[in-house]
Amino acid sequence: MSEGPSHASSFDENDYSRPNQPWQCGWAAEGHACPLGPTKWGLCRSAHECTPYKNGDTWFCARTKAHGGTCDEGPLPDGTCCKQIQKCQPTRSVLSRRGVVSFTVFASAIALAFIILGSPNRQNLVSPGDLTSQHSQVIDRCEDCHAAAAGGLSDWTHASFDATVTQRQSDLCLQCHAELGPNAKQPHGRNPELLVELTRQQVERLTSERQRTDGELVVAKTMLPQSHDALSCATCHREHRGNNADLTRLTNQQCQVCHVDAFHSFSDGHPEFTTYPHERRTRLYFDHVSHFGKHFAVGESGRDRKCNDCHQPDVAGRYMLVKPFELTCAECHSHQIHDDTTLGIAVVAIPSLDVESLRNNAREIGQWPSEYPFHVEATGTVSPILRILLHSYEGYAAIEETLSGVDVSDLRDADSPQLLAAESLVWFIKGALYDIVQSGHPEIHRRLTTVLGTNVSAQQITMLANSYPLNMTIEMQQEWFSSLRDEVESKRSGNAFAHQTEDAPADPGLAIQVERRESDMVASGWYLHGSSLSLRYRANGHADPLLKTLLDVGSVGIGNRSDALSPQETLHALFDQVASPFAAGRCTKCHSVERGQDGRAHVNWLAYRRPLSEHRFTGFSHAPHVTLLREEACAECHSFNKAPGDVASLFRPEFVTSNWLPATNPHDFTSDFEPMSRASCAKCHSNDSGRDRCLTCHNYHVR
């Protein structure tokens, strides 16, 4: 330190100093600040060194000792001090300068804020960041997502105190994301009551030894809302975090905080799989064990097949789909569809009648083909399709009721009402045939619509009506009901008509016609089958549209079956007729039939196809696994639950009932494969791999 003169000791303490006031005398830096100092507005107040006082007629100097005492010159004659102080330029104190800078910056900040709020480009300026690339493509205005954005500053202020803003914004989200369903704002998009029930079931399965008890999770659980208030979308999805932000990212912790079954990781504590992924039978009946154990066995048939011969990933690589029939099953099963060793489906079957009994009881039926001896296969049953056509008559249901349990081919023990009903049946059948021959397809369409209109789609009715072979109906009429026109017209006009006597011989020409029909039986399509008095149909190949429609229409009767004789019951009879695995086309040999949750049955014409809207709790993508595991991919996870040699029976009970009809409960089954094991997944999806996030396999939004 230098040893110069002491500043403090040399400082004139009488010098006026105001470091805490905004303005300082301009002479202060020169060391002689004036005693008055500047005004608070920074104006110099300099005047004179003193204010003289008057004593008698004389003015005296009043300068204080601190400022030098009385001066020698003394006041001027007018009483003013002779020592005028030179004006200065007051300077701001450091504190004041800081205040000025602070005020300037503060005012500038407010101005900038108002410039931003008042700018025409306000929405972009106040945006807290870029939207994700997905949203930025479809959203260009703040009000698309923010309820308050449409208004001005006052609306924003009002919205700031509006507690409903969050939910209203979620509603705006759901205007676009309507696919999330009515419960979108509830946890997992599910009905809260269902979640409560699922939680209750989960609690029952809890095992204490694997439960997490770490503090963070325990404390976090206490922060969860106790009520079932609707969640806002922003609870999980935080926007404005850049184009590449992951809106759906959730940590394992965040998933576990709500779940009563909280465990450490997938490999440590995750519940074991039970039936996954085989939670229902396959839609196509395919016995993997028997096929691989027998039909595909090398040396047996020479068909050395691998999984990917029949399966291929979908476009996204997510699901393994079944390849088309022509590439998979056709080689071995086409001939079964075209099987001409079985009769086609009797679409219109004329019942064999006990004509003799009817005539003996004075029942007028006119000409009836079953009286001829070559109709050996004809039965006393009206075919389902014919029954449907007859149901368009108002009184037909009563006839069916009267004839319930009666074999019309043997009416010897029938009582009078039954004989009368049989007679009516004859005229209903003849009337229907007559109308069809006269009016053609529109008549069939009308009758089908009358009977099935409420249960079957117009498209299906049109399909059935248009497929009906009118020419063959005419041939049938000409061959089996040659006097149909006269008989029906006479009957309807109330005239008596002549009928063949019981002794009349069979028309030999007709017999020849029928025999020709027998020999002309076609391998596919429509044909008349004389010995069973029926118009029949054989499949034209795989995916035959008529057979598909018949099964679809018939399956309607499954869900609506009642004890009463009704069109629905008739549909069920149609289903029973077509759905047998031995019926023509053998559709249900492979295509399973099942009841939906609404009780209605339907035929699974396709193997599993993921609906676009489906989003389940658990998801799995085959593509990365197949890529990683290559040839061994399938067997690595899908192992048979039976030995290859343990070939199953031809029809397993989960697909076919004991009376040879399709079983309709898809969940009553035994899978061909063992369930997946958690351990096999955990080989790769471990803590170390970083691929054990909950969201790797699970979806939050379920629909």
Partner 1 sequence: MNTLAARRTRNLGMTVVAALLILWLSDVMTTALQDTSRMSGWGLLAMIGFLAAYNLRKKLALLPLGSSASWLQLHIYIALLTAVVFGVHLNWKMPNGLVESILALLYLLVFASGVVGLFLSRSLAKRLTTRGEEVLFERIPVYRKRIQAEVEAIVFSGLEESESTAVAQFYADRLREFFLQTRNFWQHLVQSNRFRFGLLKEMQAYGRYLDESERAMMTRLVTCVEAKDDLDYQFSLQATLKYWLFIHVPLTYALLVFAALHLLLVSAFSGGVS
**Which of 27, 669 has the CB closer to partner 1?**
27
State the binding string over 27-66 for partner 1 (x if CB under 8 A, else -). -xxxx-----------------------------------
State the binding string over 244-263 for partner 1 (x if CB under 8 A, else -). -------x-xx--x------
Residues 184-213 close enough to bind partner 1 by CB under 8 A: none
3-state SS class at 322: strand
387-396 burial, b for 16+ CB within 10 Å, e for fewer? bbbbbbbeeb
At 529, give phi and psi (nearest 5°). -115, 105
Give CA–CA dist 559/575, Å, rounded: 11
**Which of 101, 564 has the CB closer to partner 1?**
101
State the binding string over 132-171 for partner 1 (x if CB under 8 A, else -). ----------x---x-xx-----xxx-xxxxxxxx--x--
| Contact (Cβ atoms closer than 8 angstroms) between residue 273 and residue 677 | yes
Least distance from C-beta 683 to partner 1, angstroms?
28
Residues 506-535 close enough to bind partner 1 by CB under 8 A: none
H helices of 21-146, in order, are 94-118, 122-126, 133-136
State the binding string over 100-139 for partner 1 (x if CB under 8 A, else -). -xx-xxx-xxx-xx--xx-------xxxxxx---------
**Which of 254, 450 has the CB closer to partner 1?**
254
| Contact (Cβ atoms closer than 8 angstroms) between residue 571 and residue 553 | yes
Least distance from C-beta 87 to partner 1, angstroms?
19
**Which of 232, 450 has the CB closer to partner 1?**
232
Q: Which two tokens stand for residue 458?
A: 């117009």
**Which of 187, 431 has the CB closer to partner 1?**
187
3-state secondary structure string across 426-480:
HHHHHHHHHHHHHHCHHHHHHHHHHHHCCCCCHHHHHHHHHHCCHHHHHHHHHHH
**Which of 184, 535 has the CB closer to partner 1?**
184
Among 138, 178, 224, 298, binds partner 1 (CB under 8 A): 224
If we measure between CA atoms, which residue out of 421, 385, 426 comes closest to residue 405? 421
H helices of 224-320, in order, are 252-256, 288-290, 307-310
How many residues can be counted in the chain? 703
Residues 256-315 close enough to bind partner 1 by CB under 8 A: 257
Least distance from C-beta 56 to partner 1, angstroms?
41
Least distance from C-beta 184 to partner 1, angstroms?
16
**Which of 216, 356 has the CB closer to partner 1?**
216
Task: Candidates 12-20, 43-51, 313-321, 604-612: pick the segment binding partner 1 (CB under 8 A).
Answer: 12-20
Least distance from C-beta 55 to partner 1, angstroms?
37
Among 47, 62, 217, 521, binds partner 1 (CB under 8 A): 217
Least distance from C-beta 10 to partner 1, angstroms?
7
* Cβ neighbours around 144 below 10 Å, total: 15
Least distance from C-beta 115 to partner 1, angstroms?
11
Q: Which two tokens stand for residue 408?
A: 């019309």
Question: Binding-site residue total for partner 1 (CB under 8 A)?
Answer: 74
| Contact (Cβ atoms closer than 8 angstroms) between residue 542 and residue 553 | no
Eight-class DSSP state of 213? -
Residues 226-245 close enough to bind partner 1 by CB under 8 A: 232, 234-236, 240-242
**Which of 51, 119 has the CB closer to partner 1?**
119
Q: Which two tokens stand for residue 483?
A: 């006097």
Least distance from C-beta 116 to partner 1, angstroms?
7
Give the Å distances, CA to CA, from 554 to 99, 387, 418, 576, 648: 91, 13, 28, 8, 29
**Which of 24, 570 has the CB closer to partner 1?**
24
Helix 441-452 to helix 416-439 angle (10° resolution) is 130
Among 73, 179, 216, 489, binds partner 1 (CB under 8 A): 216
What lies within 8 Å, CB to CB, of 689 at 6+ separation is none
3-state SS class at 138: coil
**Which of 148, 348 has the CB closer to partner 1?**
148
Least distance from C-beta 60 to partner 1, angstroms?
32
If we measure between CA atoms, which residue out of 347, 396, 349 comes closest to residue 567? 396
**Which of 29, 506 has the CB closer to partner 1?**
29
* Cβ neighbours around 433 below 10 Å, total: 22
State the binding string over 66-105 for partner 1 (x if CB under 8 A, else -). ---------------------------xx--xx--xx-xx
If we measure between CA atoms, which residue out of 186, 195, 149, 146 comes closest to residue 166? 146
Q: Which two tokens stand for residue 284?
A: 């196509």
Least distance from C-beta 4 to partner 1, angstroms?
3
**Which of 5, 405 has the CB closer to partner 1?**
5
